[in-house]
């Protein structure tokens, strides 16, 4: 009987270890999405400072709000998994914001240049979500898969809005 208990204990410990490892992979994937949303939030704070145009400031506030919502949802899921949500940004996000600062200074806060920089950031966000959906989907339950797909749709709509505004300037 003692042998059976030891075997059951080992199985329980092994299953718990597998669950913790699986949770960590899920947490890591969610933190990638939190990080790109942090990049968007900081990027649009920078973009808002680089323009005096009211409509762009309003657009950037909307884009920041999208990422703030996504970030809150993702952070809640990380906490449910007993993980720690990412608080930082990627080096590429820092580069993106610095590039926007330099570009705005060189172009005199040119609307098209700012929108080009914003689209660059939007492309990075879309690519991050696509990579996570492709590479990490196996770690998601149906609830997380649905959440990430909804967020991807929101970010894609934001991307298309920025791209349309930028393209309208090119044809004007």
Q: Find which of 13-22, 84-93, 141-150, 161-170 is predicted with most confidence, using mean pLDDT.
A: 141-150
Residue whose structure tokens are 């914003």: 118
162 has pLDDT over 60: yes
Token pair belonging to 171:
């044809």
**Residue 87: partners with Cβ closer than 8 Å, 6 or more residues away:** 38
Distance (Å, whole) CA 64 – CA 76: 18
Lowest mean pLDDT among 4-18, 34-48, 157-171: 4-18
CB 74 within 8 A of CB 68: no
pLDDT in tens, 106-122: 466 778 878 888 888 88
Burial class (CB in 10 A: 0-12, 13-18, 19+), 126: middle
HSE at residue 51, side-chain half, CA atoms within 13 A, is 23
pTM, full prediction: 0.82
pLDDT in tens, 69-94: 999 999 999 999 989 999 987 765 55
Lowest mean pLDDT among 13-22, 94-103, 135-144, 150-159: 94-103
Report pLDDT for 107: 60
105 has pLDDT over 60: no
27 has pLDDT over 90: yes
Report pLDDT for 7: 61
Lowest mean pLDDT among 25-34, 44-53, 124-133: 44-53
Domains of the chain, start order: 24-171 (1.20.1260.10)
């Amino acid at each position: 009987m003692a042998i059976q208990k030891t075997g059951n204990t080992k199985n329980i410990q092994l299953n718990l270890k597998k669950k913790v490892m699986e949770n960590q992979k899920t947490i890591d994937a969610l933190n990638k999405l939190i990080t790109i949303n942090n990049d968007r939030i900081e990027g649009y704070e920078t973009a808002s400072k680089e323009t005096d145009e009211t409509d762009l400031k309003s657009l950037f506030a909307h884009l920041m709000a999208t990422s703030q919502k996504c970030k809150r949802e993702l952070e809640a899921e990380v906490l449910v998994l007993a993980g720690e949500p990412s608080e930082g940004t990627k080096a590429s996000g820092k580069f993106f914001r610095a590039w926007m600062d330099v570009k705005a200074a060189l172009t005199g806060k040119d609307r098209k240049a700012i929108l080009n920089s914003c689209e660059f950031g939007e492309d990075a966000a879309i690519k991050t979500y696509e990579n996570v959906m492709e590479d990490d989907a196996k770690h998601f339950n149906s609830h997380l898969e649905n959440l990430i797909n909804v967020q991807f749709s929101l970010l894609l709509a934001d991307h298309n809005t920025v791209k349309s505004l930028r393209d309208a300037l090119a044809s004007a």
